[in-house]
Amino acid sequence: MKPMKLAEVRKHTGRRLTYAEAVKLANPGDPFLRNMAVALSLHSWNNTPQDWLRLEAALVILHHKGLRTPLSEALPIRRNR
């Protein structure tokens, strides 16, 4: 199962959380962050306003993690010639 789309969640919250705001609501180092997003997406009719914010924060953090480039691409190897 995939979590809800970020655009759908923003319709419920009426906000656009930045990454800095999202970190205050959800821990980016949590290995179960994706599981939390899926769980909050499953029964969305039962979500409280705080649950919607936590879901948006989790999706923002997961989206931000996906944008990072691997270290090998960020720092090309220079060879001595």
Interatomic CA distance for residues 67 and 55, integer angstroms: 19
From the list 45, 40, 30, the residue with the least C-alpha distance to 6 is 40
> How crowded is residue 37: how many other Cβ atoms within 10 Å of its Cβ?
24
pLDDT greater at residue 76 or residue 47: 47
Per-residue burial over 21-30, b if 16 or more Cβ lie within 10 Å, else e, is ebbebbeeee
Contact 58, 26 (CB under 8 A): yes
pLDDT greater at residue 56 or residue 69: 56
For the cut 70, the answer to whether the pLDDT of residue 75 exceeds it is no
For the cut 60, the answer to whether the pLDDT of residue 2 exceeds it is yes
Q: What's the pLDDT band for 80 if we cut at 50, 70, 90?
A: low
Q: Model confidence over 25-65: pLDDT tens digits?
A: 999 988 999 999 999 999 889 999 999 999 999 999 999 98
